[in-house]
Amino acid sequence: MSDMKTIGVLTSGGDCAGLNAVIRAVTYRAIRGYGWKVLGILDGTAGLLDSPPRHRELRIDTFDASLLRESGTFLGTTSKGNPLHYQMPDGSFRDLSPEFARGVGALGLDALIVVGGDGSMRIVSQLCERAGVGMVGVPKTIDNDVYCTEYSVGFATAINVVTEALDRLQPTAASHHRVMILEVMGRDTGHIALNGGIAGGADIILVPELPYTVAGVARRINQLLAEGRTHALVVVAEGVKTEAGEAASVKDAQGRPRYGGMGHYLAEKLATHTPAEIRVTILGHLQRGGSPSPRDRLLASAFGVHAVDIAAQRRFSRMVAWRDRGVVDVPLSEVTIGARTLDPNDALIHTARGLGIHLGEQRARKRE
Ligand code: F6P
């Protein structure tokens, strides 16, 4: 039996749909299953770094209203700054591990449940280790690029958004005889593009993991037109590089480079290769919002309950994961090694090719 009394839960990194459902599941299981006190840390690790630490106690009735149905995170999150190497206002860098440990101590946390992507988990696991508090990770990200889990919270809802976007773009494409390019998120991975593109009936899907040429894309479009199709749907992941291998990044308001720009790059390049009229849609942060899909709510619920259960067993430094239709847990060390890219042998790549979707050129075999 566990001697724990108080646990903390925080969300870290970019938001997505289903985070509130995870926090709810953690709270329900911790209170109903173990009688623990649950503290929600505000704004990710930032809440623990402040003195006094910013938090709110979570109770069963915290979730009486519509939180299960809402995207975002009602606790707030942060995706800026690394507390292990934090840039201070004067430009110097500091390790804020002592502040983190002080926050954990002030709240009397016996364990911390961290809902985050691989980057957040890498950072927070080190902070927890130094603070001497056990951590359990819950994977979330629309990019679905966390290792060791088939699905992360937020991905399923993002795929619904991409699919719906293509459902909306197709009639316009058909009516105006256009090529519609849809740029989707995913950082350096193509999970969103591949899954959403297949589900939404795309003709061409470009992902960072597979090589392509503009001429090849144009050839496929012209071939479709020659076969009598009046339009085409193209999905391009934001992490796809230009033909020269450069990132087509855009700048944010502060002048810092961001992912994005591939949709317009492709449209501009294609214009000289095809007579088709081309339009570009950037789906952007719409992919992170909307009511979480039933699949994400199920995943969030299973993850939250299991995270508390393994914390109760003091099996720390682990992440809950989804494998073979069930929830399991894996060592954090196997997860925090970076982003899981698309495996070129992924079954869905085979599916896409089987459907005749153009995924770029398969690498030419080296001549002997
Ligand atoms: O990692 C999730 C994600 O939505 C990526 O797909 C995207 O590139 C990035 O976050 C956007 O980050 P921000 O919200 O900081 O613009």
- Using an 8 Å Cβ cutoff, are 316 and 330 in contact? no
Within a domain: 367: no
Question: Within a domain: residue 361?
Answer: no
The ligand 1 atom nearest the CA atom of 142: 2
Atom of ligand 1 nearest to the CA of 185: 6
- Determine, yes or no, domain membership for 256: yes
Question: Measured in angstroms, how far is the CA atom of residue 111 from the centroid of ligand 1?
Answer: 28
Q: Give the pLDDT band (50/70/90) at residue 366.
A: very low
Q: Considering the domain boundaries, does residue 264 fall inside one?
A: yes
In a domain, 25, yes or no: yes
CA 288 to ligand 1 center in whole angstroms: 9
CATH classification of the domain holding 163: 3.40.50.460
Answer yes or no: do 114 and 220 share one domain.
no
Report residue 19's pLDDT band, with 50, 70 and 90 as the boundaries.
Answer: very high
Span of 85-89, 144-148, 289-293 with lowest mean pLDDT = 85-89
Q: Distance between CA 272 and CA 249 in Å, rounded?
A: 22
Average pLDDT over residues 146-170: 98
Mean pLDDT within 308-314: 98
Grade residue 33 by pLDDT with cuts at 50, 70 and 90: very high
CA 258 – ligand 1 centroid, Å: 9
Number of domains in the chain: 2
* Residue in 142, 240, 282 to alter for ligand 1 test, most ligand atoms within 8 A of Cβ: 142
User: Which pLDDT score is estimated for 253?
Assistant: 86
pLDDT of residue 106: 98
- What integer pLDDT is reported at residue 177 of this predicted model? 96
Q: Are 308 and 212 in a shared domain?
A: no
CATH of the domain at 111: 3.40.50.450
Same domain? 98 vs 166: no
Is the same domain home to 31 and 62? yes
Q: Does residue 38 register a pLDDT over 90?
A: yes
- Catalytic residue numbers, as ranges: 143
pLDDT of residue 368 exceeding 50, the answer is no
Q: Judge if 55 and 168 occupy the same domain.
A: no
* Residue minimizing CA distance to atom 13 of ligand 1: 14
Lowest mean pLDDT among 49-53, 80-84, 216-220, 355-359: 80-84
* pLDDT at residue 1, rounded to an integer: 52
Q: Place 365 in a pLDDT band, splitting at 50, 70 and 90.
A: very low
- Ligand 1 centroid to Cα of residue 170, in Å, is 26
Is residue 159 pLDDT above 80, yes or no? yes
CA of 114 to the centre of ligand 1 (A): 18
In contact, 134 and 354? CB cutoff 8 Å: no
User: What was the pLDDT predicted at 256?
Assistant: 87
More confidently predicted of 248 and 46? 46
Average pLDDT in the 68-83 region?
A: 95
Atom of ligand 1 nearest to the CA of 260: 8
Question: Whose C-alpha lies nearest to ligand 1, atom 12?
Answer: 14
Q: Measuring from each residue's beta carbon to the nearest atom of ligand 1, which residues come in under 6 Å?
A: 14, 79, 141-143, 185-187, 238, 258-259, 288
Distance 14 CA to ligand 1 centre (A): 6
Per-residue pLDDT at 362: 66
330 plus 348 within the same structural domain? no
The residue whose CA has the least distance to atom 10 of ligand 1 is 14
365 part of a folded domain: no
Residues 94 and 227 in one domain: no
Q: What is the 3-state secondary structure (H, E, C) of the chain?
A: CCCCCEEEEEECCCCCCCHHHHHHHHHHHHHHHHCCEEEEECCCHHHHHCCCCCEEEECHHHHCCCHHHCCCCCCCCCCCCECCEEECCCCCEECCHHHHHHHHHHHCCCEEEEEECHHHHHHHHHHHHHHCCEEEEEEECCCCCCCCCCCCECHHHHHHHHHHHHHHHHHHHHHHCEEEEEEECCCCCCHHHHHHHHHCCCCEEECCCCCCCHHHHHHHHHHHHHCCCCCEEEEEECCCECCCCCECCEECCCCCEECCCHHHHHHHHHCCCCCCEEEEEECHHHHHCCCCCHHHHHHHHHHHHHHHHHHHCCCCCEEEEEECCEEEEEEHHHCCCCCCCCCCCCHHHHHHHHCCCECCCCCCCCCC
What atom in ligand 1 is closest to the CA of residue 117? 1
Q: Which domain holds residue 44?
A: 6-153+292-334
Split at pLDDT 50, 70, 90, the class of 3 is confident
Q: Work out the percent of the chain whose per-residue pLDDT is above 90.
A: 92
Average pLDDT over residues 143-158: 98
The residue whose CB lies within 8 Å of the most ligand 1 atoms, and thus the one to mutate among 120, 152, 185, 286, is: 185
Q: Check: pTM over 0.85? Answer yes or no.
A: yes
Per-residue pLDDT of 246-273, as tens digits, reads 998 788 888 888 999 999 999 999 999 9
Measured in Å, residue 185 CA sits from the centre of ligand 1 at 7
